Amino acid sequence: MAKKSNVFLDITTNLDEELFEDIIKKESFKLQRIISQGHTTPEGEWYDQDRDEWVMLLCGEAILAFEGDEDVRLGAGDYINIRAHKRHRVSWTKPDAKTIWLALYSQPLG
Amino acid sequence: MAKKSNVFLDITTNLDEELFEDIIKKESFKLQRIISQGHTTPEGEWYDQDRDEWVMLLCGEAILAFEGDEDVRLGAGDYINIRAHKRHRVSWTKPDAKTIWLALYSQPLG
């Protein structure tokens, strides 16, 4: 019997690096918990992913930048779909509190 | 460009019935928002699903009952994996506040 876990617990105290952890990993999709605290995508770098991504903030605050598009500010409960190859970066996350994300990566629709 | 949405908003005021809404629907998985307020699985009925389910509570409280196994009480942030054909039911949800779930259904591992 599976045991429950809690997405707000078991967080390493060392957040020198942004934390990426798989919650579920299957062939067709992957669900991750991401924990940021002031972390951003390095200046000038973009994520350009083969997979669609759905991302939701569970707590904290973040700003996503999209190439040639408007920034999107996310707070608790906000979610957004990022289509494969939509170039984006995390331009800001709250520096004084943890930002916890759920990210669901999946094969793009045909 | 996709717009953000918020999992805590756009909730119908009529919760006579438990609310099931697709957030993402693909061939290999489906992500749903479920909103309960005092709703339970009818007495004596069990969910017996062909798909694996991962379920997380975003707010509220609920109790899952598993056939031949211990109940699991869930609060905000708690999540659990329910393997395909693991018979289960929702035996209680908080009556005086909304319980919002994320449920991710996917094809079982080979």
Paired residues of B52 in beta bridges: B106
What class is the A30-106 domain? Answer: mainly beta
The tens digit of pLDDT for each residue in B13-38 reads 778 888 999 999 999 999 999 999 99
Q: How confident is the model at residue B14, as a pLDDT?
A: 77
**Chain A residues within an 8 Å CB radius of B70:** 1
CA-based nearest distance B77→chain A, Å: 5
Residue type at A110 in one-letter notation? G
The tens digit of pLDDT for each residue in A9-47 reads 988 777 888 899 999 999 999 999 999 999 999 999 999
Instruction: Tell me the two tokens of residue B21.
Output: 């809404």
Sequence-distant (≥ 6) Cβ neighbours of residue B44 within 8 angstroms: none
Q: How confident is the model at residue A110, as a pLDDT?
A: 52
- Total-model pTM: 0.94
The interface predicted TM-score (ipTM) is 0.92
**Backbone dihedral angles phi then psi of residue A94, each to the nearest 5 degrees:** -55, 130
The tens digit of pLDDT for each residue in A53-85 reads 999 999 999 999 999 999 999 999 999 999 999
Confidence of residue B109 (pLDDT cuts 50, 70, 90): low
In chain B, where the domains are located: 30-106
Which positions 58-77 of A are in contact with B (Cβ < 8 Å)? 58, 66, 69-70, 72, 74, 76-77
Q: Where are the beta strands (DSSP E) in A1-110?
A: 5-6, 19-25, 29-36, 52-59, 62-66, 72-74, 78-82, 88-93, 99-106
Contact B70 A1 (CB under 8 A): yes
